[in-house]
Homo-oligomer: A and B are copies of this chain.
């Protein structure tokens, strides 16, 4: 595996192996067995890419839609100070993850509202000038109850304010027309342009489509570079000479192998770079919804370094041996502000004297990886040179491939989520029944 500068990320799995961390790791035989089972799924993915039968594999190499995304972003950027993004789950997490990379002070502030608590909703809107606020409404189905309700409250307020028509300050992303959904009718009512949600790609696999890239472009990111990183990640896995050299196959084999062989029930994803922190929340949906079926699926935990050293590390080191760790490490050595220990007298601070804040972060991430391994806990390292478009696009593609391959090993369909339908139906039933008793919901 080369250096992070040659590739957008590098994976190191040594501390997941039994030969390194003992019984908490996976044996070579078990790992090789899982990898062998991935040869055919990898071949199928290669064929699907070549024959364009799995749309999410075709997205990274696309460039035809970038101008449209950038134009839409430019239009919103020039007319508003704030943009409220309405959407939930896969309609929100990818965009929020990408937008968190943004450092463009001239960009509108993005507010991702993904809940229907009226207190939180009104508080988020309280500081915004409706005349200078735009909206991005994302719902693949066009019928998501929370998003429809949010839009029905927000859009009339925005439409009533400002000299520009709402049509100039808002965009909707939803499945291509055909059935006329509430979200499409709402867009038509206000004359809001609608961009098509890629029809063959579910929300949690849509981060590299307009669903994720439009917020990214609004935040000032180079969306082409995001795609390029994803293209590299696709190649790293699909063009590898063997499953053992395909990073996403290795990750899937480890995750499923450790669950089957070493009692691993949970995965922990812990980025050490603040701007990659939301990636753990995006990953959490991807892994949980794709694999959590038929009694399968390890539980994804979103963590953050260095913070969770002071919150979760005690449990990770001394609690049950039921977790696999993935640390996302940067290369912050020598970066950031220099630490002058003089105002604190220096005593007991030799370790900080002459260092930078980045040096401390580098030492902390290394120490955590080492401590977990010494405690016999399987820990995988994903190294990036920095938090930037290329590395984030690559990591997102990596995790999508890893999830699809893990689903193959488990024998589940990564693209559906059948269990959540009952809850949606029940919620509508309860709302309907409120008609009889206005304003009242019985306790369950």
Q: Name A's B-contacting residues (CB within 8 A).
A: 12, 15, 88-90, 92-93, 103, 105, 114-123, 126-127, 143, 145-146, 148-153, 155-156, 180-183, 185-186, 189-190, 265-266, 272-275, 281, 284-285, 288-289, 291-297, 299, 301, 304-307, 309-323, 330, 332-337, 339-341, 343-345, 347-352, 354-364, 366-371, 373-375, 381, 383, 387, 417-420, 422-424, 426-432, 434-435, 438-444
Which of A117, A340, A438 has the most C-beta atoms of chain B within 10 angstroms of its own C-beta?
A: A117
A284 touching B312 in the complex, CB below 8 Å, given contacts A117-B332, A322-B265, A359-B431: yes
A361 touching B116 in the complex, CB below 8 Å, given contacts A123-B103, A320-B295, A351-B428: yes
Q: How far is the CB of A81 from chain B (nearest CB, A)?
A: 14
A351 in contact with B432 (CB, 8 Å): yes
A444 in contact with B369 (CB, 8 Å): yes
Name 20 extra pairs, CB < 8 A, besides A148-B349, A351-B432, A360-B431.
A12-B443, A15-B444, A88-B310, A89-B307, A89-B310, A105-B127, A118-B335, A149-B339, A180-B347, A189-B343, A265-B265, A313-B420, A314-B418, A333-B441, A334-B440, A360-B427, A362-B430, A366-B444, A367-B426, A367-B427
A444 in contact with B289 (CB, 8 Å): no
Q: How far is the CB of A413 from chain B (nearest CB, A)?
A: 11
A116 in contact with B441 (CB, 8 Å): no
A319 to B317, CA, bound (A): 25
A294 in contact with B318 (CB, 8 Å): yes
A337 to B352, CA, bound (A): 53
For A190, give its contact among B190, B330, B343 (CB under 8 Å). B343
B318 in contact with A295 (CB, 8 Å): yes
Q: How many copies does the complex hold?
A: 2
A309 touching B120 in the complex, CB below 8 Å, given contacts A115-B274, A299-B319, A444-B370: no
A122 to B103, CA, bound (A): 11
Q: How far is the CB of A296 from chain B (nearest CB, A)?
A: 6
CB-CB nearest in chain B for A320:
B295
A120 in contact with B440 (CB, 8 Å): no
* Chain B hits for A351, CB < 8 A: 145, 428, 431-432
Q: Could you show 12 A-B contacts with beta carbons less than 8 Å apart?
A: A89-B311, A103-B123, A146-B360, A182-B349, A288-B311, A295-B319, A318-B418, A333-B440, A352-B431, A360-B427, A368-B423, A371-B426
Q: How far is the CB of A374 from chain B (nearest CB, A)?
A: 7
A361 to B145, CA, bound (A): 10
A352 to B430, CA, bound (A): 11
CB-CB nearest in chain B for A330:
B117
* Chain B hits for A434, CB < 8 A: 333, 355, 359, 363
B322 in contact with A117 (CB, 8 Å): no
A344 touching B311 in the complex, CB below 8 Å, given contacts A120-B273, A363-B431, A430-B366: no
CB-CB nearest in chain B for A303:
B284
B307 in contact with A289 (CB, 8 Å): no
